[in-house]
Amino acid sequence: MYDVIFVPLKNDPDDGALLQHAARAAGAWAGAPEAGAPSQARAATPEPSVKKVPAVVPGQSEAPTAATAPARTAPKPTLILAHAVHSHARDATSYLRADAETYLEEAARPFRDQGFRVQTLVVEGEPAEAIRGAAAESGADLIVMGSHGHSQVRHFLLGSVTEAVIRGSEIPVLVVRPGPA
């Protein structure tokens, strides 16, 4: 499981797919197995026959039962929803930053409602460098990014922020391609 998942958003329709995959990576999106739940492949495999003997702690009259034992649940990972702002005009940067902050807060709300720790972050600069730097600085274990699947010619001429992040980051990157419209 990941402790910190960094999700750079672009404020476009594909962000929904990125957020869904980030939540799945965190093991908490509707339809995703809960942390510790058996996968379908494991569920089909019979459990080995092992006799479980409850442990009694010194000073305790009997072993804890499911009702008396403290629940052990793994904390949900922190999601960092980010947006890179790149402009050479100061006024445009201020406007873009304010717009990005509003968008990120709206995107964070459903995750906070589910009990996630969510941080929002607007970074300035060339997008790939800003994303790599912010993800590393935040201690991210995973970066979840989108890929538009541009043609090879367009990709060659324009490059790709996702590809630049992959090539320059030591943090694993999960690339999500949006489904058909």
- What is the per-residue pLDDT across 94-151, written as a single tens digit (0 to 9) for each? 899 999 999 999 999 999 998 889 999 999 999 999 999 999 999 999 999 988 766 6
Local structure of residue 3 (DSSP, 8 states): S
What is the spatial distance between Cα 176 and Cα 19, in angstroms, rounded to a whole number?
10
Q: Which helix (H) or strand (E) holds 137?
A: helix 127-138
Q: What are the backbone angles phi and psi of residue 173, rounded to the nearest 5°?
A: -120, 125
Predicted pLDDT of residue 46: 37
Which position has the higher pLDDT, 61 or 55? Answer: 61
φ and ψ at residue 43, rounded to 5 degrees = -65, -30
Contact 143/131 with Cβ under 8 angstroms?
A: yes
- The better pLDDT of the pair 14, 129 is held by 129
